[in-house]
Each structure stands twice: as C-alpha cells, then as structure tokens.
Amino acid sequence: MIRIRELRKSYGAIRAVDGISLEFKPGETLGLLGPNGAGKTTIIHILIGATRADSGSIELDGVPDPRVVDARRWIGLAPQVLSLYGELTAEENLRFFGRLYGLSGKRLEERVGWALELAGLADRRGDRVDKYSGGMARRLNLACAIVHDPPFLLLDEPTVGVDPQSRNHIFEKIEALKRDGRTILYTTHYMEEAQRLCDRVAIMDHGRILALGTVNDLIREYGGRSVVEAVLVRLPAPSVALPGTLDGLRLRFETERPLEDVARLTAGGVEFAMLNVHRPDLETVFLALTGRRLRD
Amino acid sequence: MRTIATLALKDLRILARDKSALFWVVVFPLLMAVLFGAMFGGGGGRERAKMKIGLVDEDNSKESRAFAEQIGASDSLAVVPTSRQEGLDDVRRGKLTACLILLKGFSRSMPVFTDRPAYEVGIDPSRTAEAGFLQGLLIQAMFSRMTERMADPADSSAMIAQLTADLCNEPGLSAVQRDALTSFMREGARFFGTLAPELAKGKAPFGKMPTVPVTRDARMPTSGYQISFPQALLWGLIGSVITFAVSIVRERTLGTLLRLRVAPIPHIMILAGKAAACATTCVLVATALLLIGIAAFGLRVYSPLTLVLVVGCAATCFTGIMMLLSVLGRTEQAVGGSSSGVTIIMAMFGGGMIPLFIMPGWMQAASNFSPGKWAVLAFEGALWRQFTPAEMLVPCTVLVAVGALSFAAGALRLRHMDA
C-alpha cells in the first residue's frame, strides 16, 4: 500500500507540490495528468527519496521514509529522461541494473531475457544503446525499470518523443504489466494515454490535484454534455421539434444522450447529410477545470 | 562489496569504450613521458654533448695545423673548419657556439708571452660560461703543443733560438740586458735538452687538469626517462581524475544517477563504486605506464615494493581529489573546465611540467601545497631517489591524508547537492 498525505514541496517561490494526498489501491494504474510543470515528476522524486518534501508524509508498504533502502527494493522507476548508459549494450544495461537489485546467476539471466523480450530488443541485445533509435531506447528505459520484477512501477512520461509504433508497443506492454497485477503510477500530459491505461486519473495543475476519479466519473462530473452538429438534407415538417439551434440546414445541440436523440429525430423523418457527435474527454475536463487546454 | 564491484566494473567498461578518455588517461601521459624524457637526455647512453666551434686557419703553417689537430682531438669540442666570415656568421645565427681564428703569424706568436695575438675567438658575449670553458681548453692545447715541441730536441732548440732572437730584437733593451738574456736562453735550452726525454714520455704534461675519479651518485636519475615517467604518472592520475569527476556529473545529467538512487543501495555505496573505479583506473594506468617505461625505455625501479605502496597512496589521493572536483559544478562543462584548471595548476606546481629540482626556490616552496608534488616525489623516491622508509613516510602520509580529506569533503557536498 502506498499513501501520500499533504505533500508539499517548493523551489523558492514556486510551489511544485502543494498539499497532494493520494492513496494507491493494489494493482491499479493511477495516472497523474497535467501539463509540464504541474508537479508530476516532483511527486515521483519525493516517492523515491531523491527529493525531500518540505512537509507531508509518505508510506511505502508500511515504511514511512522512502530513503530507507528496503523500501525501494520493490519500486521500479522509468524516468522521464532516458536514463541509460549509451556506451553499454541493452543486455549490459539490464544486467547492471538487475545486479543492483540483488539478482544474480540464473535468475538474472531469466529476468534480463524477459525484459529484452518485453522491450522487443532481443535481437538487438548486443548493440550499444547509443546506436538505438529514440523509440528503442525508450523501450529499454522501461525494461530497465522492471528487470527486477517490482510490484510497484513509477512510469514518468514513458512515451515522450517516441514514434507511434514504439508508443503502441509500450502501451501494450504496460497493459500486460497491469494484467500481472502491478500497481502503477503513470504520469503523462497526453490525455489519450491516461484514458487508455489508467484506472483512475488525478488531474494536476500548479502542484495541486484538481480532480481525482475514474475517467468516466471525471468526464461525467466535469466534461459537460455531448455536442451534436449536423447538416440536414432538407428542413423537416413543422410538426418535428428540433433541439438546439438551426442555421439554414445546419443543426447544433447539446445533450446527455446523443445517440437516443439522433435516433428519435431520424424516426421523426429528419434526414442527415452529415452528422458529428463530440463526446467530452479528459481534455474537456481539464479545460473545464483550468480554463485552458492541456498543451497550452 | 559485490555492489561496489558491480558499480565500478560498469564505469571501467564505459571508460574502456571511450576512446577519447583513454587517450587522455593513457596515451597522453605516455607521450609526455617520451617527449620530456628525450628532452632531459633520453636513455643516458648517448654521446656526451660537445661544444660546436668553427676553426679558421689563416696561418696555414705546420704549427697552426698541429694546433688545430690538438684542438680537434678534444673530447669537449666538435671542430668545424670554416672561413672567417662564414664562421662569425654562424656564431651570430647560433649554429656555432664560437669561432676560433688562428691568425696569420700564429706559428711565431703562439709559443708564449708576446704581445702579438696568436688567435681570436668570436663568441656570443652572453655565453660567458662557454667562453671561459673554451679559453681553458685553448690554453691547455697551447701548453700541450709546447710540451710536444720541447720533447723534440731539434724543434726545442729552434723554438728557443727564435724566441731569443725575437726578444733580443725588442727595442729598448740595453747591451747588458741583451747579453744576460742570451746567456739565460742558452742555459734554458741546455736545461730543456736534458728534460726532453722525460717530456717525450709524457711525464710532465702542461695545462692538463688534474682529475680525481668520482663515482656517480646512485641517488641521481640514470636517464631522462627516470625524470619524465614520474611526471607522466602524475598526468595519468590527473587524466583519470578528470574523467571520473565528469562522469559523476554525467550520471546526474543523464538521469542514471536517479536510477541508481532508486536502487536499494545506500547513497555512499554509489560514491564508493565511483571511487573504486577511479582508484582502479589510477592503479591500472600507473602500472601500464611503469611497465611500458621499464620495457621500452629502460626505466629502473629502485624499490618495487615501495613503488607498489606509492601507487596505492597516489591512487587514494587522486580518487579523493576526484570526488572534490566533481562538486565544482552542476554540468559536465563546468566540472570538466574547473577540473582541468585546478589540475593543470596542480601539475604545474607539482612538477608535472617542470621537474621539481629545476624549479626556482619560490616555486619549490609553493609546490608543497600541490598534491602533485608529493606524488611525483614519492614516485621518484621509489624509482631513483632511493628513499628510506622514513623518507617515504612523509609523501605517502600527505597523499593519503589529502585523499581522505578531499573524499570526505566531496562526498558531503555531493550528498548536499543531491538532497
């Protein structure tokens, strides 16, 4: 069990983390979604003991201080910056980090092989990392975090700067890790990633959590209604009541149940030349909570 | 211990694959050793340096040729026949140290004690030591030649007869003085006639410097490489120090330090791993340079066991310095630049550029504050200074103390920076 209570950290006048409280359920993937500078990475650094919090408390499996060596044994970290030795091969990197966690002999060999397979780098295991593409290095960065088989993973923006193919590969592997029952803290500023991978999402800005819940709960609570935009073939009979606004043949309306409303209109004889349904997403939630877009 | 070895091996593997770092750690010091060793006189088996002079024989007589031969036979001179103009020009250009001109009438003037000069010497006025040295050699040659002539009764008689005639022709001599002089010279000729057989045996050479056999002090470098290899060892240590000081910062900027800090190992162990890698590199570099020195440049080791101790102490010292240098900045550029600056000054005052014994007094006093000086001194102590254990205690203690203090200060600062 991991608990964070009232965590605060400032760098001079800047409040990087401002009273954050979180509790991880075993086996869940919790996403920290927010723009750059929201405080996501600082929380991770405090969790691993690399940064000291100004106040607040952390509990890692009953240990109150992450700087205690044993508390870190079951954490795996994939830092946002590619943290690899370019002069070493993928296999050497994995062996090195595995040994630091006490792996040796057959167990080390097994884990290194498993991590290479997971990263899709088994056939490039003997190549120096500085010869890798960005996507390959990013996959190895993830593999180094899990080579020692940790139950708790801290993945700090693990898809930054990768090609769509590698990105998809990483998604699939994280989903596999989820199925294994690992608890994951996943930071990102891509709402699609949070929506796809996270069981719960904490929306962050300026060091604070603005909202926390499942994706559906957040959308339901903060996303507002769906917007339907349509172009009609012809004007319907006066007996058919159209919702929203009609501008020529262009119809626009907001609704809680877009599909049901469209079905009702079709049954009433309305014909659509074009139909768009905009469902609210986390971007809409963020916009509603902060007044700006995630990538502003 | 296993973790420290894992960390150190990783760093050594990275170093082994970094060609530019290897150059500065091994190749550059070796080049320094070879270059400076050659400058300081190389392997010691070479010909002794001779003073190169030009010789102009304007008299071109039997006597001037014999004198020129005498001069040419000197161990200390390399004589090049030349003309007056060319010889003097070569002195001006620095191609010759001096130009000796045997003047017209040399054979008449040379014997002795006349106002007429027998020869002239053209030499750079700033080279006073060489001028004095050359004058001594010329006087020695002159007396040697005179001895040879005295050994020949006929030549001796002719020489005295000519001298008598020259003296008697000097204006201002009274008849009484002239008679007395003639009588004196006649008796002198008779005396030299009796001495001729002894002179011919070479029993009474004139002007030859009496020498006492002296055995070279064993506590002196036997070749230039004995001086240059301790300097090269210092440069090798410095190269290792800069490489690892930068590598600590590099771990931070790359993010690998963060990954290391998540691992279940104490922070001090990360530093210990880095220190172990640096110390191992220092030992390997020193060993490699020494082995190359011994195998290829005839480097002599007075005390191999002491040398092993010195290598250990120097590695300890420079590992500590590495830790201190690594906290001089937060970027690779900052640490690389400041480390280079500090270590160059350390090497300059420590004897890495100019040998300690050549340094002026003030610089030698200042060198006491450079760990480089104590490292070079300790290496020299084990190679050729023949330090006793008591003498070796001082540099070794200084090296270990500096290393321990620097490591502690650097580790504390690093801990503070990473907090």
| Beta carbons within 10 angstroms of residue B19's beta carbon | 8
Please say whether the dihedral angle defined by the alpha carbons of residues B222, B225, B229 and B232, taken in this order, is positive or negative: positive
* Mean pLDDT to the nearest integer, B327-343: 85
For residue B214, with 0-12 CB atoms within 10 Å meaning exposed, 13-18 middle and 19 or more buried, which class applies? exposed
Tell me the C-alpha distance between B179 and A9, whole Å.
Answer: 120
| B47: pLDDT strictly greater than 50 | no
User: How far does B17 lie from chain A, in Å, by closest CA?
Assistant: 7
Tell me, what's the pLDDT at B176?
Answer: 83
| A275: pLDDT strictly greater than 90 | yes
Tell me the C-alpha distance between B361 and A285, whole Å.
Answer: 77
For residue B169, with 0-12 CB atoms within 10 Å meaning exposed, 13-18 middle and 19 or more buried, which class applies? exposed
Which ranges in B51-110 belong to alpha helices (H)? 62-72, 84-93, 106-109
> Are A84 and B256 within 8 A, CB to CB?
yes
pTM, rounded to two decimals: 0.70
Mutation test of the interface with chain A: which of B7, B257, B262, B265, choosing the one with the most A Cβ atoms within 10 A?
B262
Tell me, what's the pLDDT at B406?
Answer: 92
Tell me the C-alpha distance between B414 and B419, whole Å.
Answer: 8
- B345 CB within 8 Å of a chain A CB: no
| B147: pLDDT strictly greater than 80 | no
Higher pLDDT, B146 or B261: B261
For residue A180, with 0-12 CB atoms within 10 Å meaning exposed, 13-18 middle and 19 or more buried, which class applies? exposed
> Are B265 and A99 within 8 A, CB to CB?
no
- The size of the A-B interface in CB pairs under 8 A is 71
Q: Which of residues 111-150 of B touch A (CB under 8 A)?
A: none
> Are A102 and B264 within 8 A, CB to CB?
yes
Helices B153-168 & B128-151, crossing angle to 10 degrees?
110
Tell me, what's the pLDDT at B92?
Answer: 85
Which ranges in B208-331 belong to alpha helices (H)? 224-254, 256-262, 267-297, 304-325
* Mean pLDDT to the nearest integer, B326-342: 85
Tell me the C-alpha distance between A54 and A76, whole Å.
Answer: 24
User: How far does B51 lie from chain A, in Å, by closest CA?
Assistant: 56
| Beta carbons within 10 angstroms of residue B98's beta carbon | 24
Higher pLDDT, B51 or A266: A266
| B215: pLDDT strictly greater than 50 | no
Tell me, what's the pLDDT at B405?
Answer: 94
Tell me, what's the pLDDT at B210?
Answer: 54
Written as six digits, the tokens of B412 are 């504390």
Residue type at B233 in one-letter notation: L
Higher pLDDT, A267 or B165: A267
Residue of B6, B256, B261 lying closest to A85 (CB–CB): B256
| A117: pLDDT strictly greater than 80 | yes
pLDDT above 70 covers what percent of chain A?
A: 99
User: Residues B330, B417: contact at Cβ < 8 Å?
Assistant: yes
Tokens 């990783």 appear where?
B10
Q: Which of residues 4-63 of B touch A (CB under 8 A)?
A: 6-7, 10, 13-14, 17-18
- B187 CB within 8 Å of a chain A CB: no
Tokens 């002719």 appear where?
B158
> Are A85 and B10 within 8 A, CB to CB?
yes
Tell me, what's the pLDDT at B51?
Answer: 82
* Mean pLDDT to the nearest integer, A112-135: 90
Predicted confidence band of residue B93 (pLDDT cuts 50, 70, 90): confident
* Mean pLDDT to the nearest integer, B321-343: 86
User: How far does A70 lie from chain B, in Å, by closest CA?
Assistant: 6
The mean pLDDT of chain A is 88
Q: How many Cα atoms sit within 13 Å of B295 on the Cβ side?
A: 6
Buried b (16+ CB within 10 A) or exposed e, B299-322: beebbeebbebbbbbbbbbbbbbb
Question: A80-89, A207-216, B35-44, B269-278: which has the minimum mean pLDDT?
Answer: B35-44
For residue A256, with 0-12 CB atoms within 10 Å meaning exposed, 13-18 middle and 19 or more buried, which class applies? exposed
Predicted confidence band of residue B323 (pLDDT cuts 50, 70, 90): confident
The DSSP result for A9-24, as a single string, is EEETTEEEEEEEEEEE
Tell me the C-alpha distance between B355 and B272, whole Å.
Answer: 34
> Are A84 and B17 within 8 A, CB to CB?
no
Q: How far is CA A119 from CA A141, A147, B214, in A?
A: 9, 11, 76
pLDDT above 70 covers what percent of chain B?
A: 89
- What ipTM goes with this model? 0.80
A45-48's contacts with Cβ under 8 Å and 24+ in sequence apart are: A45/B258, A46/A7, A46/A9, A46/A17, A47/A2, A47/A4, A47/A75, A47/A154, A47/A185, A48/A72, A48/A75, A48/A77, A48/A154, A48/B258, A48/B261, A48/B262
Tell me the C-alpha distance between B379 and B229, whole Å.
Answer: 9
The mean pLDDT of chain B is 83
Q: Which of residues 210-269 of B touch A (CB under 8 A)?
A: 254-256, 258-266
Q: pLDDT of B370-410, one tens digit each?
A: 999 999 989 999 988 888 888 899 999 999 999 999 999 98
Helices B224-254 & B304-325, crossing angle to 10 degrees?
30
User: Residues B206, B143: contact at Cβ < 8 Å?
Assistant: yes
Tell me, what's the pLDDT at B48?
Answer: 52
Tell me the C-alpha distance between A174 and A193, whole Å.
Answer: 11
What residues of A are in contact with residue B256 (Cβ under 8 Å)? 83-85
User: Residues B23, B31: contact at Cβ < 8 Å?
Assistant: no
Q: pLDDT of B148-187, one tens digit each?
A: 777 777 777 777 777 777 777 777 778 888 888 888 877 8
| A272: pLDDT strictly greater than 80 | yes
Q: pLDDT of A166-189, one tens digit each?
A: 888 888 888 988 888 899 999 988
Tell me, what's the pLDDT at B214?
Answer: 46
What residues of B are in contact with residue A152 (Cβ under 8 Å)? none
| B216: pLDDT strictly greater than 50 | no
Q: How many Cα atoms sit within 13 Å of A146 on the Cβ side?
A: 28
Tell me, what's the pLDDT at A108?
Answer: 94
Q: pLDDT of A9-66, one tens digit each?
A: 999 888 899 999 998 888 899 999 888 888 888 998 888 888 888 999 888 877 777 7
User: How far does B264 lie from chain A, in Å, by closest CA?
Assistant: 5
User: How far does A190 lie from chain B, in Å, by closest CA?
Assistant: 22
Q: How many Cα atoms sit within 13 Å of B31 on the Cβ side?
A: 7
What residues of A are in contact with residue B265 (Cβ under 8 Å)? 69, 100
